[in-house]
A and B are shown apart, each in its own frame.
Chain A
Amino acid sequence: MEIGKYIVEKALKLGADDVVCNIKDDLEKQVKFVNNQVAVFTTWNTTNASVFLSYKKRLVGSSLDTPENMETMTPLHGLSLKKENVDKFLEKLIKTAKILEPKKDYFGIADGRFKYKKIPDSYDKKIEKGGKEIDFVQDAIDAAIKEGAKRTAGVLYTDVWKNKIFSSNGIEAEDKGTSINLSIRSFAEEKDASGHTVSVARTLKKFEPEKAGKESGMHAKQSLNPSDGYSGKYTAILHPMVIANILYYMSYAFSAFEVDSGMSFLIGKQNKKIANNIVNLKDDGRLANGFGSRSFDDEGRPTQATDLIKNGVFKNFLHNTSTAKKFKTKPTGNAGLIYPQPWNIVLEKGDRTVDEMVSEVKDGVYITNVWYTRFANYRTGDFSTIPRDAMFEIKNGRITRPIKGLRITDNMQRILENIIAISKNPQQIEWWEITSPIITGHVLVKDLNLTKSAK
């Protein structure tokens, strides 16, 4: 018998009401490069099982998707998934569940035999075969250097995974996928001149290492000798790396968990205007070539596309079965059994080119990357984030000089309200700062508040 099925049946025998078991096989490789050379080649070859079970509304589990601070918890790996180890572990889980207080607002897991449709562009045999990882890195480095970069650093990942799910409601399903993603940061001669871009794909034909290398090298070269920028409110063009960062940190607020915990700035705003009319944002778990696309969520429900913001109006939170029942709405296929989560957040493309955006700005800035986004208050969405890499001043429709030393200090909703244009060429962004993919073009934002440090 499949070990996952065994786990579910054994847990039921021990008295559990609901059981879900996910088993994931993963072969991940990474080339980390520094100063145009390979610093380390890493391989992760792992099998992980996670179990969730309820006993009279008392919930226990192992290795579940949890809030940020628990992400580091290790799963049930290394137990070799031997029957005697599994038995012992399940007995411990049930024994613990029996003495806990119930979670009164727990309302069960997905029920039903679902049909799962194949997601286009989600698996590529060539990525599984491998062997060209270092060549791709070299292509990206060469492209960056050709544009004027002197040195580059970054990572290339490939991943081949297979996920099986079994649940006490009869779900037995299997999904597999591949991905390849490159993050490259280029530096020109001066210490403050750098550019950073990514290429993120599920198949090789959508993977563009040279394009990423070229843009990062170009930004590095263009940002040579930056001078101090000025604080104030500006019309800003935000590169996809920037708006993706903001949308990524905003995405917590769409999870039903954060509504329950009182932390979301979207509480009480359903069907209310929170963004400019041109803003359409969705989560799409079935997006072709989407880095986060998967056939089913962590309780086996098929993934779907869910509107988050439609024509500027906030529409839906993201749910698992239990939170949806609590909120008297439909599940959205976003389990996390504890923490409903997005799969691919997509900002609908607009109608402009980046050049057109630049030409519209009288007095503004173009920011190409940020990091270290932190909130003063999650409930209000007040935050700041720091530009890194190339940043430019724009005057009267032209980029005039590279600048440095500024910080975006603003509010999540205010930025949504102030988006006045979106470009027509979206990119998929995922990297060290943004671990859940965002698909977005450049955006034009008015009245962006920029602050700077006292020297």
Chain B
Amino acid sequence: MILIDRDLAEFAVNLATKNGASYAEARLVKTGEEGYILKNGTPETVVFSEGEGLGIRVLAKGGMSFLALNKLSKDEIKTAIMKTIKMAKVSAKTLKEPIELSEEKTVKASWEVKPKINLSDISAKEKMDYLFEIEKSLKSIKNKLVSRVFQLETSEEEKYYVNSEGTRIDSKIPRVMMYYSLVAIDGNDSEMRYFPIGESGGWEVIERWNLIKKINEESKVLLKIIKEGKRVPKEVQDIVLSPELVGIAMHESVGHPGEADRPLGREAAQAGETYATRDWMGRRIGSDFVNVVDDPLVKNSYGFYEYDDEGVKAQRRVLIQNGILNGYLHNRETAKIFGIKSNAAARASGFDREPLIRMSTTFFLPSNQTFAELIEEIKKGIFIKSYTEWNIDDKRWNEKYVGSEAYRIENGELKELVRRPVLELTTQKFFSSVDGVGNKVEFISGSCGKGDPMSAIPVWMGGPHIRLRKINIGSA
């Protein structure tokens, strides 16, 4: 792909500043995306999308306005920018304080994630054949799997970012994402598994994932859960959570509440606010074992970036340190309010979305215990390896994870499968109960939702196995 209209971004920013904008930025984004679905052995429509558009943000008289258009002529851009500056000024009249941005270094940079195998070198047939290969591998248990949906998405995104302060950044990133959902059935009983997996990179990631093995194993486990999984009464026991569970919990109960626009109310009518209000910073939320970071620079990560969508250099952010709430994810607007520098968390999911404070890879830092060591001291407990339903309230305080593959632990040993154990607890209870941390981090992927209109953005989340003591848990 070549960004054919690169100068249009420059044109837009110059035009805005000449016509009353105190600050202007433009992102010219070109994307190529493909989507494949194989549903119970039948291929669905293969979807190709190509697009290019311009997202422009301006500050004028302290008001902010955002414009997205894909009619990429100078005349169209000019007309739209004049209107958008006017609306920024009108908006400013409602403000008690003008919107300002933190001062940041101007940057001239270029970065890209280079694929080992270009996505465009793999034909549509080969991509669909990969899904057929997964389907064929399930032949022996197909009649018990009433739902087998495999979905592959690839994308390549090129971006040119320019702002009125002199920053210019080129970037290029390919990504691969797979989703699968399975429903196993036995008589009138059934269980479901849904799993997303994504990375930044080319077709080489498919080999690394080894999904055929994973999907086959999980399908067999689903059937086994129906046949053998025992419901257990709710009682206080110790639990061990897998990296998959730890990942979703870090994303939901540390990453989201750590977005600095939440305590300021900017997402109040959508994704909500946060338990981690400004006076909570420096407070203890968990045991000394708890250390959680968000890091855009994790290699191959699905949410990888070197500069954010405000041109600020990416960096690791420590959200919880030794159980103490340490800081937020910031963009330039919140950083200015907090009197600090941005830590580069502004991300836009496309040219047509304003950059918002978003996570990248949020994970629990590892310590030194093996899985065997984590369970060996447990007399009575449950190990949850994967989950199905989950949710959390909009302050990120009351959360729930329903186990899919889960086992009873007795005297340090894994025993039989347990059916749908429900972990329903507060964030403080979760983190205060941690007393053991594994030594190996694994990641899962997600499309994180935030913003209005919804802006889904690629992220990773993860951690090692962790142990929580004395949790009230039982089957749904």
- The residues of A with any CB-CB pair to B shorter than 8 Å are 30-48, 52, 59-64, 66-67, 69-80, 89, 92-93, 96-97, 99-105, 134, 138, 151, 153-155, 183-185, 187, 191, 196, 260-263, 337-338, 371-380, 382-386, 388, 405, 407, 409, 432, 435, 451-455
Of the candidates B76, B90, B153, B456, the one whose C-beta lies within 8 Å of that of A45 is B76
For chain B residues 126-141, which have a beta carbon within 8 Å of chain A? 128, 132
A residues near B49, Cβ cutoff 8 Å: 62-63, 73-76
The answer to whether A375 touches B53, judged by C-beta atoms less than 8 angstroms apart, is no
For chain B residues 52-106, which have a beta carbon within 8 Å of chain A? 52-53, 63-72, 76, 80, 83-84, 87-88, 90-91, 94-96, 99
Q: Which of B31-39, B162-170, B324-332, B370-378 contacts A (4 or more CB under 8 A)?
A: B31-39
Of all chain B residues, the one with the shortest Cβ separation from A89 is B50
For chain B residues 115-134, which have a beta carbon within 8 Å of chain A? 123-125, 128, 132
Minimum CB–CB distance for B102 against chain A, Å: 17
* Cα A64 to Cα B35 with chains together (Å): 10
Q: Which of B185-193, B211-219, B313-321, B406-414 contacts A (4 or more CB under 8 A)?
A: B185-193
A residues near B44, Cβ cutoff 8 Å: 59, 103, 338
Minimum CB–CB distance for B121 against chain A, Å: 14
The answer to whether A262 touches B66, judged by C-beta atoms less than 8 angstroms apart, is no
Of all chain A residues, the one with the shortest Cβ separation from B80 is A45
* Cα A378 to Cα B76 with chains together (Å): 46
The answer to whether A35 touches B400, judged by C-beta atoms less than 8 angstroms apart, is no
* Cα A74 to Cα B153 with chains together (Å): 12
The 4 A-B residue pairs with the shortest CB-CB distance in the complex, in nearest-first order: A78-B52, A262-B147, A153-B268, A376-B389
The answer to whether B192 touches A384, judged by C-beta atoms less than 8 angstroms apart, is no
Q: Annotate B373-399 by CB proximity to A: 1 below 8 A, 0 otherwise.
A: 000000000000000111111100111
The answer to whether A103 touches B68, judged by C-beta atoms less than 8 angstroms apart, is no
The answer to whether A100 touches B399, judged by C-beta atoms less than 8 angstroms apart, is no
A residues near B147, Cβ cutoff 8 Å: 261-263, 379
A residues near B123, Cβ cutoff 8 Å: 96, 99
Task: Report if B265 contacts A (CB, 8 A).
Answer: yes
* Cα A385 to Cα B192 with chains together (Å): 18
- Known contacts A37-B95, A62-B48, A67-B37; A47/B71 CB under 8 A: yes
The answer to whether B91 touches A101, judged by C-beta atoms less than 8 angstroms apart, is no
B residues near A151, Cβ cutoff 8 Å: 265
Task: Report if B282 contacts A (CB, 8 A).
Answer: no
Q: Which of B9-17, B19-27, B295-303, B422-430 contacts A (4 or more CB under 8 A)?
A: B422-430
B residues near A337, Cβ cutoff 8 Å: 45
Known: A40-B91, A103-B45, A378-B192. 18 other contacts (CB 8 A): A32-B452, A38-B94, A39-B266, A41-B84, A42-B65, A43-B68, A43-B80, A67-B37, A89-B50, A99-B125, A105-B42, A154-B269, A263-B181, A263-B192, A372-B391, A383-B389, A409-B476, A453-B400
The answer to whether B83 touches A43, judged by C-beta atoms less than 8 angstroms apart, is yes
Most chain B CB neighbours (cut-off 10 Å) among A63, A69, A153, A383: A69
B residues near A35, Cβ cutoff 8 Å: 264-265
The answer to whether B392 touches A372, judged by C-beta atoms less than 8 angstroms apart, is yes
The answer to whether B394 touches A377, judged by C-beta atoms less than 8 angstroms apart, is no
Minimum CB–CB distance for A72 against chain B, Å: 5
Of all chain A residues, the one with the shortest Cβ separation from B455 is A72
Question: Could you list some 14 contacts between A and B, CB below 8 A?
Answer: A46-B69, A46-B352, A59-B44, A64-B45, A89-B50, A99-B125, A102-B43, A183-B269, A263-B192, A338-B45, A376-B476, A379-B185, A379-B190, A452-B398
Of the candidates A69, A92, A374, the one whose C-beta lies within 8 Å of that of B389 is A374
Task: Report if B447 contacts A (CB, 8 A).
Answer: yes
Task: Report if B151 contacts A (CB, 8 A).
Answer: yes
The answer to whether A46 touches B53, judged by C-beta atoms less than 8 angstroms apart, is yes
Q: Annotate B231-269 by CB proximity to A: 1 below 8 A, 0 otherwise.
A: 000000000000000000000000000000000111011
Of the candidates A71, A191, A196, A453, the one whose C-beta lies within 8 Å of that of B399 is A453
The answer to whether A375 touches B192, judged by C-beta atoms less than 8 angstroms apart, is yes
Minimum CB–CB distance for A216 against chain B, Å: 9
